[in-house]
Structure formats: structure tokens, C-alpha cells
Chain A
Amino acid sequence: MIRSEILREIAPILNPHLVVCNIGLPSQELHMIDDNERNFYMLGTMGLSSSIGLGLALAQDKTVISIDGDGSVLTNLGTLPTIANNVANNYILLIIDNGSYGSTGDQPTYAGKKTKLENVATACGCENVVVCQDVDTGAALQAAIDSKQMTIIVSKCDSGNIKLPVITKDPVVIRDRFMTAVAS
């Protein structure tokens, strides 16, 4: 499976929850599959999906799922110790690990070579690190939500992209409707 197929499969599980979605194709795909006010789309700032999600989870009680990529986590590797040391049990970091920088043309990442992000997360002190195959992502995500324990999921999948348009919504509109959903 490629990332867009995983997103299509897990969209009903994500739907009731607050989602912070990574820059580029992941946000465009989620926007196409299930646009709703509980989704925060990153239009820029590669690497910070996990940080934004953690800040949001620490600030309020609703479940927050950050959708990130292996390339983006490598960009902001310092996020993993911060997550490990500031436990928010309403927080799930879902790393869709396709071993490539999908939005920029599928250049390989180091996570697609020798580096194992699940081992990095564990070494950083993250206590619930789950590795799954693409087809099992939905089950792993639902289990993490039900566990009410902060969880890092690394979902291994194929690289590959679908063609789809950029998000043209105004960033302040995205942010405002998201904050209304957070506060509701």
C-alpha cells in the first residue's frame, strides 16, 4: 500500500479525532479523502507536525493524532525526546514510513536505508512504540486510541504518490475552524 491508500483506509478512524497533518501530499490527500474541521492541514513548515500535535495534546484533553512521515521526523529528530519526556496520553504520533521524501519526488530517506525510527523513538525514551505493516495501520491506530496511552506508530508502506491538487483554503480559515472544533 502507498500512503494515500492507508489514509483512505484509516479516515473513518481519524474522523472523530483532532488530526494534525504533515505538509504536502499527506495534507492534500487527507483533504481530498475526508476534509473536516477537526483536521489541521500544514501548508508549510516541514517537520513540525509532531511538535504541533504534542503542544495541542498537552494543552487540552481531546485525542490528537499527528500524521507525520519518516522524512519529516528526520527533519525534526529532536521531537522524539521531547515527546518521550512530556507524556500526553491523548497523543498519538503516526509515522507513515515509506522510506522516501514523497512530496519532493520520492528521494530515499535514511529511514528507508539503515535507520529505524522505531528504534530511535525507543532510544529517546518513548514507551509505547508500535511497528506495523501498511494493511494493519487501522487496527494499530484504533488500539492506540483505545489504550489511552501515548503511542508512536511506525507504519511501513510503499513509496508512491497520486496526483491531486494543492489546498487553496486560507491558512487562517483552516486554523480558525480547527480551533472552533478543538474548543467545541
Chain B
Amino acid sequence: MSISKKIVDDFVANDVSFITTVPCKQLAGVIDEVEARPEIFHIPSNKEDEGMGLCAGAFMGGKRPAIIMQNTAIGVTINTLATLTQYYRMPLPMLISYRGELREPVACQVEMAVHTKALLAQMNIPTYHFHKESDADELDAILKYTFMCNKPVAILTDASFWGGYGDQ
């Protein structure tokens, strides 16, 4: 089974039925899988804070939401995480492409990578880092944890996890 399918299976098994995405080369397979599943309403957003607003509304409407985005979005969404998701105590799994880690070809991506874990730690956001494919075995438990504690939770998935970037 492809890792993208396994990830989305875990979302579906945990009743996540509203997912917003911002495009990413590494996450393209997961985004395609989200789009293909009838159990999930897929709503692409133009910016990640907008996506978090959509997720907040969907959660209050009775759906379990999730967001799929790049780690650069942490820089975009700090205020939304603090004043909406955390302040109103809402759950939000964040499946994050961890650009700028090992095997990264684009130097500028490293500039946000070096801040990513520090920012998440500063925000007291529980953070998991998938480096090997077997790390994804924990996703089911991470999703259960997220909806148990009503917090945003970060799942960083690096290039090694996705098998690199393919031919450069």
C-alpha cells in the first residue's frame, strides 16, 4: 500500500471528513488521495490561515477537520493558531511537509526549516517528526490524541520520509 493511501486511511478511520490543503510537491500524492476519497470533503485554501479558519468552522459544525501544508506556513499561521485554534481550544491535525531538511535542494527552504521546531515548541504545539516510513505507524495514535486533547498537533514529514524529491 502506498504511504499516501495509508495516511489518508488513518484520517478516514479517525472520522476526519473535512480537509483543507495548500499545494506541496512532497504532499501531492496525499492531496490526490484526499481528493479521491468520497468520505472526505476536500477544500483547497489559498493561504494556510484561511484554511485554519475553514477548519475551525467545520469543527464547530460537527466535522473533524485537518490541514495539509508546508512548514513555511508556520510563519503564516502563528496568530491564527494562538488566537483561534488554541484560544477556543479546537483540535487540528496539521500534516506538514518539512521542507529544508536533509535532501532539500532549495536553499531558501532551510531558512524556515531552522525555525520550524523552535516555533512549534514556543507555541506548545505537540510535534511529531516522520523521518522513516515506519514512523507513520504512529499516525493513528496521533490523530486520536489530537481529538482527545483539542489541540493543534504538528506532524512534520521530511524529504527522507517521502523518499526525496525525485529527479532534480
User: A residues near B, CB below 8 A?
Assistant: 20, 40, 42-45, 47-60, 64, 76, 78-79, 81-82, 86, 171-172, 174-175, 178-179, 182-183
Cα–Cα, bound, A83→B84 (Å): 20
By a beta-carbon cutoff of 8 Å, the part of chain B in contact with chain A is: 18, 41, 43-47, 49-63, 65, 79-80, 82-84, 87-90
Residues of B within 8 A of A45 (CB): 49, 53, 79-80, 83-84
Q: Which of B53, B58, B79 makes the CB contact (< 8 A) with A58?
A: B58
A50 vs B51: C-alpha distance in the bound complex, in angstroms?
A: 11
B80 touches A48 (CB 8 A): yes
Contact partner of A52 among B44, B53, B63, CB < 8 A? B53
Q: What chain B residues lie within 8 Å of A60 (beta carbons)?
A: 61-62
User: Is there contact, CB below 8 Å, between A56 and B57?
Assistant: yes
Distance in Å: Cβ of B161 to nearest Cβ of chain A: 29
Nearest residue (CB) in A for B55 is: A55
Q: B residues within 8 A CB of A182?
A: 60-62
Chain B residues with Cβ below 8 Å from A56 are 57-58, 60-61
B53 touches A48 (CB 8 A): yes
Across the two chains, which residue of chain A brings its CB closest to B54?
A55
Q: B83 touching A51 by the CB < 8 A rule?
A: no
Give bound CA distance, A46 to B137, whole Å: 37
Complex alpha-carbon distance, A53 and B87, angstroms: 18
Cβ–Cβ < 8 Å partners of A44 in chain B? 79, 82-84, 87
